[in-house]
């Protein structure tokens, strides 16, 4: 790749498309100006001029355009009975020999919770995707890598950031890493789940402005592209394989885009990587259940149409809305604005791109139909609202043919949309975020260990493909974790629950791989161990859409193993 071609990786003048390598010959011929950037045997990234977005999805497969991900967060060690396990001398498992990958906002490597007593770091490597002055991973060709040796030199310096300039300006990544592997701080009643584990940290690049504009993402929102997350996960795996050590990857990020069925590029990649030996991937389901951002309906041709009402906030400027229809249904919509301006039913075609401007309002809506979306085979209708008028918008969803078919509509997650934009008749289920619908990784919800209640906003299952997600619940309300000022604060959300579970997965890999009791475990095997040992309430049936298979109890996992071994 030439210097000019490499510059396109981070250039705002080019967008990135995620493509299946099997389609490369066809796609390279389809675009006039394209740079091919191979990621692995499965996927490549195409860098093409951003002007192609001017026609919406008319010339792009939806799954190829990177989805945009945000953060899923805004005394837990005892709740999962980790201390009970440590009280047994032969099971005082603290993550020794295990690597944990945090793909997030970076890390404050100067925080004492990440420094050994001898002054050295517990971070094996940092890949900061936002810095272009250092050495990049040879395959990714962007960002800068900082080794453990360089971080140790920085920690000995009076000006550490002159040597390793990577910082976590947000604090979310530092929180996640601290929950997993932070040192014990008794006076703050804090300990990481596996304080002897080491970390691989990836600080993600912010999404390109052209893609943020396409999806109408607010300027102030933390937003990451799907392809840079994929690169980050792959980097963690490469470092672990080079060092010959087991790996847990923890993702506390999510997106409300896509079909919520695990079939887009990042979930697919996680499903494959999560089945590798000595590798566990843990994801958070997000915090969207009670935000009113999901609608479930039935389009019955015999009934005419299904009516969807959406309240738009006074301070809303724009957003994206996606309708996913179940096959073999075929769907179309009409639109009624708050002022009463009516857009008649937009007819179905294989691909439709229309720009709708209203006469009495400043609202502009880009409408894209993909009747057979390439990754799922289902229909997608995407609407992108700009200068949107506040009030109640009404959409009639029509079915075609003689079969009634279900459809889902999702609004954006987190702060990508205002709190007062919501469906008037929402559905709290299938509110888990991408990539948590991916089958192999462990998808975590959050509960409050103080009262035993599920976190009220925690995303609910199942996936749109009816796969059981989440699988388990872990502490995630008021979780004490490190902050950027080297103090501690309470965090609430499913990211904290995912980080907690990543630490428990590291315990499993230490026992299985490092101590030789069950070498080669993958995400599914560790998941099944945790499911077997989960605590379940007598008045609930399992699995269920709220709790999955129950509450993580690592002591019970080993207690069951002990009983099984005695039987043998």
Mean pLDDT on 381-390: 97
* DSSP for residue 522: B
pLDDT confidence of residue 274:
97
Per-residue pLDDT tens for 506-526?
999 999 999 999 999 999 999
Q: In this structure, are 123 and 238 located in the same domain?
A: yes
Q: Are residues 181 and 116 in the same domain?
A: yes
Domain assignment present for residue 66? The answer is no
pLDDT of residue 83: 67
Last residue of a domain, one of 388, 423, 458: 423
CA dihedral 131, 136, 141, 143 (to 10 degrees): -20
Measured CA to CA in angstroms, residue 284 lies from 73, 276, 382, 435, 458 at distances of 10, 20, 25, 8, 9
Quote the tokens at residue 458.
Answer: 């925690």
Same domain, 43 and 183: no
Q: Is the pLDDT of residue 2 over 90?
A: no
- Model pLDDT, residue 77: 47
| Residue bearing the bigger pLDDT, 67 or 81 | 67
pLDDT at 245 over 80: yes
Please give the pLDDT value at position 560: 81
The pLDDT of residue 418 is 97
Higher-pLDDT residue of 22 and 458 is 458
Asked if residue 71 is part of any domain, the answer here is no
CA distance 491 to 71: 13
Is 137 in the same domain as 199? Answer: yes
Domain final residue pick, 395, 423, 451: 423
145 and 281 housed in the same domain:
yes
Residues 89 and 238 in one domain: yes
Residue 145 burial (C-beta neighbours within 10 Å; 0-12, 13-18, 19+): buried
Assigned domain for 65 exists = no
Among candidate residues 399, 423, 447, the one where a domain is terminated: 423
Tell me whether residue 254 is in a domain: yes
Do 408 and 478 lie in a common domain? no
* Any domain includes 353: yes
310-337 mean pLDDT: 95
Flag whether pLDDT at 123 surpasses 70: yes
- State the pLDDT confidence band at 75, using cuts at 50, 70 and 90: very low
pLDDT of residue 23: 80
| Contact in structure between 66 and 16 (CB atoms under 8 Å) | yes
- CATH code, domain with 358: 2.60.120.1290
- Contact 266/435 with Cβ under 8 angstroms? yes
One domain for residues 255 and 378: no
465: domain CATH number is 3.40.50.200
Spatial separation of the C-alpha atoms in residues 508 and 226, rounded to whole Å: 29
Report the mean per-residue pLDDT for the chain. Answer: 93
Poorest-pLDDT segment among 154-163, 232-241, 270-279, 323-332 = 323-332
**Is residue 68 one of the residues assigned to a domain?**
no
Q: Which residues contact 567 (CB under 8 A, 6 or more apart)?
A: none
Q: Which of 330, 360, 359 is nearest to 345 (CA)?
A: 330
Residues 189-213 have pLDDT tens digits of 899 999 999 999 999 999 999 999 9
Instruction: Mark whether 93 and 182 lie in a shared domain.
Output: yes
4-31 pLDDT per residue, tens: 889 999 999 999 999 998 888 777 777 8
Q: Is the same domain home to 95 and 230? A: yes
Range name among 175-184, 260-269, 297-306 with the lowest pLDDT average: 297-306
Q: What is the pLDDT of residues 27-61, one digit of tens each?
A: 777 788 899 999 999 999 999 999 999 999 988 99
- The reply to whether 255 and 283 lie within a common domain is yes
Contact yes or no for 554/506 (Cβ under 8 A): no
Checking if the pLDDT of 223 tops 80, the result is yes
Residue 70 inside a domain? The answer is no
- Identify which has the larger pLDDT, 426 or 350: 426
Q: Quickly count: other Cβ atoms within 10 Å of residue 138's Cβ.
A: 8
Nearest to 278 by CA among 97, 145, 125, 123: 97
> For residue 74, is pLDDT > 70?
no
Give residue 255's pLDDT. 97
**pLDDT recorded at residue 32:** 80
Task: Report helix, strand or coil for 472.
Answer: strand
Q: How far is CA 518 from CA 54, 248, 256, 277, 527, in A?
A: 53, 16, 37, 11, 14
Number of domain units in the chain: 3
On whether residue 89 sits in a domain, the answer given is: yes
Domain of residue 396 covers 294-423
Q: Residues 278, 335: one domain?
A: no
pLDDT at 80: 56
Is the pLDDT at 416 greater than 80? The verdict is yes
Count of CB atoms within 10 A of residue 377's CB? 11
Q: For residue 286, what pLDDT is reported?
A: 97
């Amino acid at each position: 790749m030439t210097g000019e071609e490499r510059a396109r990786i981070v250039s705002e003048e080019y967008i990135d498309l995620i493509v299946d390598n099997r389609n490369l010959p066809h796609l390279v011929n389809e675009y006039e100006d394209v740079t091919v950037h191979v990621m692995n045997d499965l996927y490549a990234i195409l860098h093409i001029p951003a002007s192609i977005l001017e026609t919406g999805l008319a010339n792009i497969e939806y799954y190829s355009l990177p989805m945009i991900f945000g953060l899923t967060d805004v005394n837990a060690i005892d709740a999962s009975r980790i201390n009970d396990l440590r009280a047994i001398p032969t099971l005082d498992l603290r993550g020794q020999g295990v690597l944990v990958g945090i793909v997030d906002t970076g890390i404050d490597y100067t925080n004492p919770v990440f420094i050994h007593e001898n002054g050295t770091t517990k971070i094996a490597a940092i890949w900061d995707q936002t810095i272009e002055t250092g050495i990049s991973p040879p395959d990714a060709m962007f960002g800068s890598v900082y080794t453990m040796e360089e971080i140790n030199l920085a920690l000995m310096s009076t000006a550490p950031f002159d040597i390793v300039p990577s910082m976590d300006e947000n604090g979310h990544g530092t929180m996640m890493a601290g929950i997993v592997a932070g040192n014990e701080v008794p006076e703050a009643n804090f300990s990481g789940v596996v304080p002897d584990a080491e970390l691989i940290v990836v600080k993600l690049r912010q999404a390109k402005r052209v893609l943020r504009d396409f999806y109408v993402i607010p300027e102030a929102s933390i937003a990451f592209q799907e392809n840079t997350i994929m690169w980050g996960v792959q980097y963690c795996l490469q470092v672990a394989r080079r060092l010959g050590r087991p790996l847990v990857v923890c993702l506390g990020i999510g997106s409300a885009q896509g079909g919520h069925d695990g079939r887009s590029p990042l979930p697919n990649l996680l499903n494959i990587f999560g089945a590798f030996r000595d590798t566990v991937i843990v994801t958070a389901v997000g915090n969207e259940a009670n935000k009113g951002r999901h609608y479930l309906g039935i389009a019955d041709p015999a009934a005419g149409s299904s009516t969807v009402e959406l309240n738009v906030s006074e301070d809303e400027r724009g957003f994206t809305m996606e309708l996913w229809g179940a096959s073999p249904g075929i769907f179309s919509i009409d639109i009624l604005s708050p002022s009463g301006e009516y857009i008649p039913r937009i007819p179905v075609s294989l691909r439709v791109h229309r720009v709708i401007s209203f006469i009495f309002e400043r609202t502009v809506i880009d409408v894209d139909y993909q009747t057979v979306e390439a990754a799922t085979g289902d229909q997608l209708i995407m609407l992108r609202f700009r200068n949107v008028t506040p009030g109640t918008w009404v959409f009639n969803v029509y079915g075609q043919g003689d079969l009634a078919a279900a459809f889902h509509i999702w609004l954006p997650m987190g702060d990508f949309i205002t709190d007062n934009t919501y469906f008037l008749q929402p559905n709290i289920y299938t509110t888990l975020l991408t990539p948590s619908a991916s089958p192999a990784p462990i998808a975590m919800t959050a509960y409050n260990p103080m009262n035993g209640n599920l976190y009220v906003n925690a995303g609910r299952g199942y996936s749109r493909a009816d796969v059981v997600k989440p699988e388990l619940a872990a502490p995630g309300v008021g979780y004490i974790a490190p902050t950027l000022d080297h103090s501690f604060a309470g965090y609430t959300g499913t990211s904290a629950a995912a980080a907690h579970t990543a630490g428990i997965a590291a315990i499993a890999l230490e026992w299985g791989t490092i101590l030789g009791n069950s070498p080669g475990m993958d995400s599914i095997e560790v998941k099944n161990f945790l499911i077997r040992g989960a605590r379940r309430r007598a008045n609930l049936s399992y699995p269920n859409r709220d709790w999955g298979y129950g509450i993580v109890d690592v002591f019970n996992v080993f207690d069951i193993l002990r009983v099984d071994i005695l039987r043998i």
